[in-house]
Amino acid sequence: MKSDKRVLLGMSGGTDSSVAAMRLQEAGYEVTGVTFRFYEAGDKIGYLEDARALALKLGMKHIAYDARELFRSRIIRYFVEEYLRGRTPVPCTVCNNELKWALLAKIADEKGIYWISTGHYVRKVLSGGKYYIAPAADKDKDQTFFLWGLKQDILRRMLLPMGDITKNEARSYAAERGFGQVAAKKDSIGVCFCPLD
């Protein structure tokens, strides 16, 4: 299965995962996109529609995976409990290390897909027979902090197409391929269930 050129990509509907999809296809992978429904304020599902529309335009399979209850019980609950104890919770790190990548691997296994991917700005390196997270080319967008706790069973399967480019290059990449709307998307800032806008 490892030699298979199929990959399951976490697609948020934003610039980074959209460009990751394009880069993976360009590298010869058959990409299946999965959009996790972790948290939605009201009925705002524009991100889901954006991911579906991009997958359709790129000729990719796309699935939506409802993990809202799991997200509430594991991530939001953790955040609230830590905050009430006077600690500083870091929900994005917990989500990536304990939920998002684990779900990607689970769904990929169910579909017989070896490789898993996201639009994170991070690289991985092999040293002494083990994989490690390494800083991205874009120091301003580097997301190694959020993935520091991933285990070898996940790390060995990861493809990280955004690690060697900058955000500006990602925007240009999308625009040059006729995806102006993808190129112009705002960056998400802060915790998804505590939106700043």
Q: What token pair was written down for 125?
A: 């390196």
Identify whether 192 is a catalytic site residue. yes
User: Angle, to 10 degrees, between the axis of helix 15-26 and the axis of helix 46-58?
Assistant: 20
Note if 92 is an active site residue. Answer: no
Written as one string, the DSSP assignment of 157-170 is TEE-TTTTS-HHHH
Q: Which of 20, 92, 95, 182 is catalytic?
A: 95
Sheet of 115-117: strand order equals 61-66, 30-37, 6-10, 115-117, 158-159
Q: How many CB atoms neighbour CB 25 within 10 A? A: 17
Active site residues: 95, 192
